[in-house]
Structure 1
Amino acid sequence: MHRTPATRLRSAMAAALLGLVAVTSAHAQDRYPTKAIRLVVPFPAGTAPDVMARYWGDRVSKQLQQPVIVENRAGASTIVGTQAAVASPADGYTLLYTASGTVTINPFAYKKLPYQPQDLVPVTRMLSIPLVVSVPTESPHKTLADLIKAAKAKPGQVSYASYGMGTVPHMSMAYFANSAGLALNHIPYRDGGLTDLIGGRVDVAFSPIADVLPYIKAGKVRPLAVSSVRRLDSLAQVPTVAESFPGFEGDSWHGVFALKGTPQSVIDQLGAVSRRIAESGEYRQYLSEFGLVPVGGSPADFSQLIEAESKRWAKVVKDNSISLE
């Protein structure tokens, strides 16, 4: 059949239009986000992880022009919320904001776990939480060396408070005791036991800095050492545990995770947005009020840290026969 120039022109225009529709459709599918993002936080409302997650969500919402809805799913050392997150579609619209124990302690301390670290994809480590070895103000222990000497003189009699078996404060103190060759008496508390520490009813605690810093500033407890590799700006005169035991590091952290199978482009976008938040002066100023340390970094950086910490805590679990149901 003979095709006139007009017919050929119409056919070409139709083909071009179809191609444009296809490209536009593909770009629409690639766009992210196009709806609200659900951020699962496996901690109660009002706790530090919840507060920091809401800060992150608010800034992400402003940058991506979509709501970030925080869903608190607390319980069982973050297991309840993490299980709820990993059961969701891996499309970038369900994320998890959690603390280090979820992926670096729970897999080794719990006999059975309804998720695996491989179910989660690291996006960005938002902040580091140094821990502080503290004693009551009236304690005779002025230095970490004093505490070690007393504990060695009375094996099993020096008591320490924690937030419970398998928490980072418990694991860090167990790690310290192993490093120093000490036998300590562990007393778990739901609230970390700082009230009993201040009152002298427990000898020492290895507490998250945001919890203990106000009491240090008020002169109610005495800091002996911090868990970080380097000294902290907020406690510049307080030595690190690593100064006595090279290689020691016991910080906790908060981080953002996507689900296994989430498109890499979405992970990259979330990572870039998170790094901008972590690097902002506003964020650094905000964290400094609590003694927290902003981090940021790439998904690869985050993955390497998790791998290194998992080896450390797996050894502490094994050396101390820690087993949770």
Structure 2
Amino acid sequence: MTTHAPQHQRTRRLLGLALIGLASGLAAPTQAQDKYPSRTIKVIVPFPAGTAPDVMARFWGERLGKALGQSVIVDNKPGASTIVGTQQFVAAPADGYTFLYTASGTVSINPFAYKKLPYQVADLVPVIQTLSIPLVITVASGSPYKALPDLIKDAKDNPGKLSYASYGVATAPHVSMAYFANSANIALNHVPYRDGGLNDIVGGTVNTAFSPIADVLQFIRTGRVRALAVSSKQRLDSLPQVPTVAESFPGFEGDSWHGVFALKGTPQAAIDMVAAASQKIVASDEYKKYLASMGLVPIGGTQEQFASVLLSDSKRWVNVVKNNHITLD
């Protein structure tokens, strides 16, 4: 992708990359090889140790190793909005012994927020979507906003005066809140934080945030913050009393997700084996219980279903990024 292509051409080309990547993966020949897997599998996680993608990748990877009869090691390669690790992943051999475990921004936001990337989304073959991460619009427990319409009304009465925290420019909490503000026709002031700014939300220094549920669920349950709405299509089992944004703005959806990718050219037999083992892990009661404690939602499904998610994500976020002039260049 070049920096000179018109926006509409870039958009049209990028929207097809998820399905191109899938088709490329499905077309890869099953080469004669030793019984797969015959050695250690490496999973690159482009996030720091201890973060949610790292924790979930290790949980999944340990069980994948048991299912396949080989050790699975997690290799953390954080930096530059997941670009560092993803670049290392695409440089690896496409032999079925290196996979990428990442979050939605790598394929659904970065291609639109950067004019040029050192990786192509078409090089990433979707294997399985492991989970969905609902985001929650929260305010301090002492906030005057008791429900979403209160926040919207104040924002309309005081354009640009209300602030919201995020993990930084072009992160899921940033683009989801920008999408909400566009939907509600309000102007909000973005305040990026390295740590998501939760302490300042609790303290009322910033007015609100669209935070990943794992960050705020315990704060909601203990009354330190108030939940106004969730980003999912349906209400959540973990927060059944909290309405969806879509109840006010039909069609709204802003969840993030985690997923596993193979490299284009990886033997399909290897992809199929990892996908099948992963589906059993995601469908297990152990996995569901572990995710429920954090408010996360197990997904699973086929390669094609994951590719469809990538495509719908791209169609949504390319417009949000463009309309709000979100850039990381």
In the superposition, the TM-score normalised over structure 2's length comes to: 0.90
**Aligned residue number for residue 35 of structure 2:** 31
Q: Of 229, 241, 256, which residue of structure 2 is paired with 1:237?
A: 241
Q: Of 211, 214, 220, which residue of structure 1 is paired with 2:218?
A: 214
1:164 lines up with 2:168 in the alignment: yes
**Aligned residue number for residue 127 of structure 2:** 123
Aligned residue type for 2:38: T
Query: What's the offset of the Cα at 1:70?
Result: 0.6
> Comparing both chains, which one has the higher relative contact order based on Cα–Cα distances under 8 Å and sequence gaps of 6 or more?
2
**Aligned residue number for residue 313 of structure 2:** 309
Q: How does 1:258-297 map to 2 (within 5 A)?
A: 258-297=262-301
Query: What's the offset of the Cα at 1:30?
Result: 5.4
**Aligned residue number for residue 64 of structure 2:** 60
Q: Of 201, 205, 209, which residue of structure 1 is paired with 2:205?
A: 201
Aligned residue type for 2:217: L
**Aligned residue number for residue 323 of structure 1:** 327
Query: What's the offset of the Cα at 1:318?
Result: 0.7
Q: Of 244, 250, 257, which residue of structure 1 is paired with 2:254?
A: 250
**Aligned residue number for residue 95 of structure 2:** 91
What secondary structure, in the 3-state scheme, does the structure 1 residue paired with 2:299 have? Answer: strand
Aligned residue type for 1:88: A
CA contact (8 A) 2:89 2:98 kept: yes
Q: Distance in 2 between matches of 1:301 and 1:136?
A: 37
What secondary structure, in the 3-state scheme, does the structure 1 residue paired with 2:183 have? Answer: helix
Q: Distance in 1 between matches of 2:328 and 2:192?
A: 14
Q: How does 1:11-30 map to 2 (within 5 A)?
A: 29=33
Aligned residue type for 2:310: I
Query: What's the offset of the Cα at 1:65?
Result: 0.5
Question: Per-residue displacement from partner, 1:85-114 (whole Å, max 9, x unpaired)?
Answer: 000000110100000000000000012210
Q: Distance in 1 between matches of 2:85 and 2:270?
A: 22
Q: Distance in 1 between matches of 2:321 and 2:204?
A: 29
CA contact (8 A) 2:31 2:267 kept: no
**Aligned residue number for residue 6 of structure 1:** none
Q: Distance in 1 between matches of 2:59 and 2:221?
A: 25
Aligned residue type for 1:192: G
Q: Distance in 2 between matches of 1:253 and 1:71?
A: 20
Query: What's the offset of the Cα at 1:28?
Result: 7.2
Q: Distance in 1 between matches of 2:188 and 2:325?
A: 15
Unaligned runs of 5+ in 2: 1-29
Residue identity over aligned pairs, in percent, reads 67
Q: CA RMSD in A?
A: 1.1
Aligned residue type for 1:231: R
Question: Per-residue displacement from partner, 1:299-325 (whole Å, max 9, x unpaired)?
Answer: 000001001101100000110011112
Question: Per-residue displacement from partner, 1:112-167 (whole Å, max 9, x unpaired)?
Answer: 21001101000000000000000001110000011000000000001000000000
Q: Distance in 2 between matches of 1:323 and 1:219?
A: 35
1:69 lines up with 2:73 in the alignment: yes
Query: What's the offset of the Cα at 1:270?
Result: 1.0
Q: Distance in 2 between matches of 1:146 and 1:259?
A: 47
In the superposition, the TM-score normalised over structure 1's length comes to: 0.91
Q: Distance in 2 between matches of 1:116 and 1:241?
A: 32
Aligned residue type for 2:106: T
Q: Which has the larger radius of gyration?
A: 1
1:104 lines up with 2:108 in the alignment: yes
What secondary structure, in the 3-state scheme, does the structure 2 residue paired with 1:29 have? Answer: coil
Aligned residue type for 2:292: S
Q: Distance in 1 between matches of 2:262 and 2:235?
A: 32
1:41 lines up with 2:34 in the alignment: no
